[in-house]
Each structure stands twice: as C-alpha cells, then as structure tokens.
C-alpha cells in the first residue's frame, strides 16, 4: 500500500479540490487499536483502486491538521479514523473497529 504522508494544510486543500476519490487514514502512533485498524486496512488494501490516493495522517504529530479535517468535513474527530472523500465531500467515515478497506472499496464502485 502506497501511503502519502499527510503533513500540510496545502494537502488538505488539494484533497478538497480534487475530482474523484481520496482516502484519509487518521492514525495515532500511541494507540494499539489504531495500529490494529491500520494493519487490517492494509491487509485488504488491494481491494482499493490503484488510482485513489491514500493519505496517512499521524494525528499525534499533526493534531492541528486533524482538527481542521474534522471541521472541514463536518465529522467528529476520531482515532483511528478513515474518511472517503469524493469531489471535496466526505461520503464515508468510519472509526476504530468499523474501519474496513472492503467498505471503502464498495463505496467507490
């Protein structure tokens, strides 16, 4: 799985202005539940179309960006959390044990 490190507010603007889909995975490097959710997501990552950018946000290091994501997409801040963005709108949000690459892929198809 080719993650794009998400570390700037400019990247958030790019995602919001992008046509098509993007995935944001918000991860806490201090949380074992977050690590488990990330591993499960990556195990099924081949279900996702290869042309969909996958952004990985270390929310411990970039908490301000995480808060901006929650505000911009009108979602509650969660960790771990996956957001599927389509044409600037969040069309799917999952957190903790509900995170599933299969569900994200199903929404894209």
The C-alpha angle 36, 25, 66, rounded to 5 degrees, equals: 115
The model's pTM: 0.95
Number of domains into which the chain is organized: 1
> Using one digit for the tens of pLDDT, what is the confidence trace for 2-36?
999 999 999 999 999 999 999 999 999 899 999 99
CATH number of the domain to which 91 belongs: 3.40.30.10
Please, what is the average pLDDT of the chain? Answer: 95
> Using one digit for the tens of pLDDT, what is the confidence trace for 44-87?
999 999 999 999 999 999 999 999 999 999 999 999 999 999 99
The residue written with tokens 């969040």 in the block is 90
**Listed residue (70, 79, 92, 106) closest to 23, CA to CA:** 92
- The domain of 57 spans 3-108
Q: 107 pLDDT band (50/70/90 cuts)? A: very high
């Amino acid at each position: 799985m080719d993650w794009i490190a998400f570390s700037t507010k400019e990247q958030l603007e790019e995602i919001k202005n992008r046509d098509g889909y993007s995935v944001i995975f918000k991860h806490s490097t201090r949380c074992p539940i977050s690590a488990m959710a990330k591993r499960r997501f990556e195990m099924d990552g081949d279900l996702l179309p290869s042309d969909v950018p996958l952004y990985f946000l270390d929310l411990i290091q970039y908490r301000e960006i995480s808060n901006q994501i929650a505000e911009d997409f009108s979602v509650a801040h969660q960790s771990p959390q996956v957001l599927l963005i389509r044409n600037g709108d969040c069309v799917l949000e999952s957190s903790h044990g509900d995170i599933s690459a299969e569900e994200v892929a199903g929404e894209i198809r």
